[in-house]
Amino acid sequence: MEETKIISGCKVVIIGGSAGSLNALMQILPELSKLNDFAIVIVLHRKSTDDQTLEDLIALKAKVTVKPVEDKVPLLPGFIYIVPSNYHLLFEKNETLSLDTSEKVNYSRPSIDVSFESAAEVYGETLVGILLSGSNTDGTAGLIRIQALGGTIVVQNPLAADMPFMPNHAIQKTVPDFILNNEELLKFITSINT
């Protein structure tokens, strides 16, 4: 792992997580005072009937503004976007977000793979994908696609994850650019585009 490698030219950081990743997000997001010319998109597995709780919680704790995700909203740098429950989130070439209610993928909607793969298609090497804690295999295929199209992939250190299965699975199947604990993740995100 190159501790010193700094990511530049990044437009989007997409973070996928399942069981146990809210803790990590709550350690990282409140510490970010601004995003240097990139947007953060968060894809978190949750109950299909959960309307706004996650958005409200993150908006309450984060200093960076959380923009509500609706169909075809523009994805703007400097803001946090959270995928709504019971939809897949897709990325359009004109840098807007689309929603999709098609079949669950990896028993999940939103699926991390679906959003990672779609973001990779549009953002290529300007994309950073981060996979956090969980007890499911979702996210690994998406990381592979992000890397194949030139993006940077980061996996939470399984030792730091509440549920190590998902990051472990990704580490076995990919060669992550970085494997980081929560503190390092915060440093990494802060260093992007500086």
User: Tokens 């946090």 identify what position?
Assistant: 80
What part of residues 54-73 is at the interface with another protein (CB under 8 A)? 69-72
Cα maximum dimension of the chain: 42
Residues forming beta bridges with residue 91, ordered by sequence position: 97
Contact indicator for 20, 162 with CB cutoff of 8 Å: yes
Q: Is 138 a catalytic residue?
A: yes
Contact indicator for 143, 172 with CB cutoff of 8 Å: no
Q: Is 18 a catalytic residue?
A: yes
> Which residue out of 85, 138, 169, 177 is catalytically annotated?
138
Q: Is 45 a catalytic residue?
A: yes
What part of residues 84-113 is at the interface with another protein (CB under 8 A)? 84, 86-87, 90-93, 98-103
Q: Which stretch binds another protein (CB under 8 A): 22-30, 33-41, 83-91, 184-192?
A: 83-91
Give residues with Cβ within 8 angstroms of 186, minimum separation 6: 27, 28, 31, 32
Judged by beta carbon, residue 42 or residue 171, the one nearer another protein is 42
Residues that bind another protein (CB under 8 A): 49, 51, 69-72, 84, 86-87, 90-93, 98-103, 114, 117-118, 121-122
